[in-house]
Amino acid sequence: MKYFLYFCLFFSSLYAQNKLYNHYFGNLHSHTWYSDGNKDQDTNTYKLPVAKAINYGRTVALNLNYLAITDHNHNEGLNMTLPRWRSGVNEADTANKENVFVGIFGQEWGTLATYGGHTLIFNTDKLIGWNPGVYDVYVAKNDYNRLWKVVDSLNAFCYLAHPNNTDFGNLLSKSYDSNIDKVLQATAIKSGPAFSTNTTMTDPSSTTYESYYHSLLKLGYHIAPTADQDNHYTNFGMSNQQRSVVLAKALTKTDILTALKNRNVYASEDVNVKVDFDINDSIMGSIITLLTPFNIRVKVTDETPNDNISKIEIRCGIPGSGTNSTVLTSISNSDSLSYIVNQPVSSTYYYYVFVQQNDGQRVWTAPIWVTVNGYLPVTFGSLIANKMENSNYVKIEWSTVSEINNLGFYVQRKGEYDTEYLSLNEDIIPGSNTTLQNQFYYFIDTTIISNGNYYYRIKQVDNNGLESYSNPILFNFNPTEMKDYELKIYKYELKQNYPNPFNPSTRINYTVPKSGFVHLAVYDIYGKQVQLIYSGFQTPGEYSYEFNAIGLASGVYYYKLITNDHYMVKKMLLMK
| Residue 344 to residue 233: CA distance in whole angstroms | 51
The 3-state secondary structure of 152-192 reads: HHCCCEEEECCCCCCHHHHHHHCCCCHHHHHHEEEEEEECC
Residue that wins the pLDDT comparison between 30 and 402:
30
Q: Across residues 229-234, what is the average pLDDT? A: 98
Q: Across residues 28-51, what is the average pLDDT? A: 97
* Domains 378-477 and 493-574 equal at CATH topology level: yes
pLDDT at 44 over 60: yes
334 exposure class (CB count in 10 Å sphere: 0-12, 13-18, 19+) = middle
Q: Across residues 511-527, what is the average pLDDT? A: 87
Where is average pLDDT lowest: 72-76, 373-377, 418-422? 373-377
pLDDT at 6 over 80: no
pLDDT of residue 485: 37
3-state secondary structure of 396: strand
Compute the mean pLDDT over every residue in the chain, rounded to the nearest whole number: 91
Q: Across residues 286-297, what is the average pLDDT? A: 90
Give the alpha-carbon dihedral of 517, 523, 525, 527, to 10 degrees.
Answer: -60
pLDDT of residue 164: 95
| Residue 430 to residue 135: CA distance in whole angstroms | 71
pLDDT at 486 over 50: no
| Residue 412 to residue 455: CA distance in whole angstroms | 8
* Cβ(24)–Cβ(246) below 8 Å: yes
Q: Across residues 72-76, what is the average pLDDT? A: 97
E strands, 416-538, where?
Answer: 422-423, 429-435, 439-445, 452-462, 467-469, 473-477, 493-494, 505-512, 516-523, 529-538
pLDDT at 19 over 80: no
Q: Which of 412, 274, 272 is nearest to 335 (CA)?
A: 274
pLDDT at 480 over 80: no
| Residue 262 to residue 254: CA distance in whole angstroms | 12
Structure confidence by residue, pLDDT tens digits, 450-469: 888 999 999 999 888 888 88
Structure confidence by residue, pLDDT tens digits, 163-199: 999 999 999 999 999 999 999 999 999 999 999 999 9
Q: Across residues 292-296, what is the average pLDDT? A: 85
- pLDDT level of residue 233 (50, 70, 90 thresholds): very high
Q: What is the CATH number of domain 4-374?
A: 3.20.20.140
Element (H or E) spanning 341, and its range?
A: strand 336-342
| Residue 353 to residue 266: CA distance in whole angstroms | 9
pLDDT at 481 over 70: no
Q: Across residues 271-280, what is the average pLDDT? A: 95
pLDDT of residue 53: 98
pLDDT at 1 over 80: no
Residue that wins the pLDDT comparison between 525 and 42:
42
pLDDT at 3 over 60: no
Give bridge partners of residue 412 from the DSSP assignment.
423, 457
Structure confidence by residue, pLDDT tens digits, 331-371: 999 999 989 898 999 999 999 999 999 999 999 999 999 99
Residue that wins the pLDDT comparison between 576 and 1:
576
pTM above 0.75, yes or no: no
Structure confidence by residue, pLDDT tens digits, 498-507: 999 999 999 9
| Residue 227 to residue 270: CA distance in whole angstroms | 10
E strands, 416-449, where?
Answer: 422-423, 429-435, 439-445
| Residue 178 to residue 181: CA distance in whole angstroms | 5
| Residue 364 to residue 224: CA distance in whole angstroms | 9
CA-based radius of gyration for the chain: 33
Structure confidence by residue, pLDDT tens digits, 367-419: 999 999 987 788 888 899 998 877 788 999 999 988 888 999 999 999 988 88
Sign of the dihedral through C-alpha 242, 246, 251, 254: negative
Record: fold of 378-477: Immunoglobulin-like (2.60.40)
- pLDDT level of residue 526 (50, 70, 90 thresholds): confident
Record: fold of 493-574: Immunoglobulin-like (2.60.40)
DSSP string, 52-96: HHHHHHHHTSSS--EEEEEEES--SSS---HHHHHHHHHHHHHH-
Sign of the dihedral through C-alpha 379, 382, 387, 390: negative
pLDDT at 261 over 80: yes
pLDDT of residue 488: 60
**Domain boundaries in the chain?**
4-374, 378-477, 493-574
